[in-house]
Copies of this chain bind each other. A is one copy, B any other.
Amino acid sequence: MTDKLQRLKDLLGEVWDLNMAAAVLGWDQETYMPPGGAAARGQQLSTLSRLAHIKFTSDEIGQLLDDLAPEAESWDPDSDEARLVKVTRRDYLKATKVPSDFVAESAQVASQAQMAWREAKATSDFSKFEPYLTRIVELRRQYANFFAPYEHVYDPLLDDFEPGLKTADVQRIFDALRPQQVELIRAIAERPQVDDAFLHQPFDEQKQWDFGVQVITKFGYDWQRGRQDKSAHPFTTSFSINDVRITTRIDPNYLGTGMFGTMHECGHALYEQGVSPTLERTPLGHGASLAIHESQSRLWENLVGRSRAFWEHFYPSLQATFPSQLGNVDLETFYKGINRVQPSLIRTEADEATYNLHIMLRLELEIALMEGTVEVKDLPEVWNAKMQEYLGLTPPDDAHGVLQDIHWSMGSIGYFSTYALGNLISAQLWERMTQDVPNVEAQIRQGEFGDLLGWLREHVHRHGAKFEPQELVRRVTGSEIDPEPYMRYLRTKYGEIYGL
């Protein structure tokens, strides 16, 4: 038994190394790679992902899992070992349905598509990206069909990001959420608007960078086990639990982008840095799902970073950093400004109240693309129509519309709803956490985040991918993914800011 488990771990470790090598190549591609390197990089990533897939789907791993499964029944079901067998078996059964050549082709198309997307976005020319996205949608549909029969063609895609969750589950959650969000936004729109013009001024880039570093150092980001670089689209990536990197993007004329982006990515990174070392180099050695990941990034960005308590501590330092821009802006004005609710074009800069509408738009488009009811060539038009319908806005160009997100160029269709789910989960975790750390607000007011991070480490981070997202949420909070805590949070916060 021990021999078989060790052999399984050795084989999975090899797959892990290949995946981590690919992650390094991906990080380099987004941060430092010169343009000429793109074609070869695509080929390298393709080879690595193909080899990782071949190795993971080997008969030997299948046999070891079959051999271990009955014995694992007798182990503590929450032990690392029992979960390793269970989760790996689930992933193995999925992976063996997908041919290695398909995986390689997808990786290569994604690599080229990212370059094309970058160029298309820079010139706001959707036609440069269209053929790549068309190919990606074809490949995603082909991918879904490896898992036929399914309830919905979108299910297999969603399952890659949220194991165990169905399209119908997400639609049900969103159906409960949508009217409440719309109602809240309508109520806010009837109240006098708060001012945030002071955020839109020139801010020295290096000082913005340094302030972000100061904040996330306080959060507990471990610089011995990570670093921050710049990229067009901020992301977090890890090459081991001891090398978890973030990137950020600084807007020289708007304070919000870099500041909240840095906190957001730090939230992801704290999760990965907090996974138990016993899970390293196994399929459990990373976050449980994208929604759980997003609950961490949004928690630090919003529930912490956009709270009054946080700024009671940090605002004097920010004011001292930017005296000419913020010297005459008092804390209350600043706090309201960073929480201003205003329908806007760019998802990553949307406020907490409108954010989920950006997600619903994308989810609907993804489902329509997969169902074939919308074609790629019509996407800019459909996007703009929905933006008008949901947010009352029309993008001036595709760079501020359909081309704004990197995700589709990476082949990541099925991903977006996890952002909204993450928002919901962040509020569920927060409500539960305040029972154990009742004075968390007072601590944050002192710039102390140790108890908060400790609680998250204990209840969420250390488990890695041992539990599926719904199971993890249930274990920690006692209920499934539920929109009510998030709506309570929004109503309380904006009720106070807008005097509802």
Contacts and interface: CB of A to CB of B under 8 A. Distances in A.
Interface string A8-32: 0000011001101110110010001
- Secondary structure at the A interface, as helix, strand, loop or mixed, is helix
A41 B281 CA distance: 12
Contact of A40 (B46, B51, B242): B242
A228 to B, nearest CB: 10
Copies of chain A in the complex = 2
Given A20-B44, A43-B281, A51-B51, A242 B14 contact: no
A224 interface: yes
B229 A32 contact: yes
B17 A48 contact: yes
Contacts of A22: 21
A98 to B, nearest CB: 19
Given A24-B28, A25-B21, A44-B20, A37 B243 contact: yes
B37 A225 contact: yes
Given A17-B48, A222-B36, A225-B34, A243 B41 contact: yes
Contacts of A69: none
A224 B47 contact: no
B36 A243 contact: yes
Contact of A25 (B24, B33, B47, B223): B24
Top 10 A-B residue pairs of the complex, sorted by shortest distance between their CB atoms: A37-B243, A40-B240, A36-B225, A36-B242, A17-B47, A17-B44, A36-B224, A21-B21, A34-B227, A21-B44
29 contacts: A13-B43, A14-B51, A17-B43, A17-B44, A17-B46, A17-B47, A17-B48, A18-B47, A18-B48, A20-B44, A21-B21, A21-B22, A21-B25, A21-B48, A24-B24, A32-B229, A34-B226, A34-B227, A35-B224, A36-B222, A36-B224, A36-B242, A36-B243, A37-B240, A39-B242, A40-B239, A40-B242, A40-B243, A40-B280
Interface of A: 13-14, 17-18, 20-22, 24-25, 28, 32-37, 39-41, 43-44, 46-48, 51, 222-227, 229, 239-240, 242-243, 245, 280-281
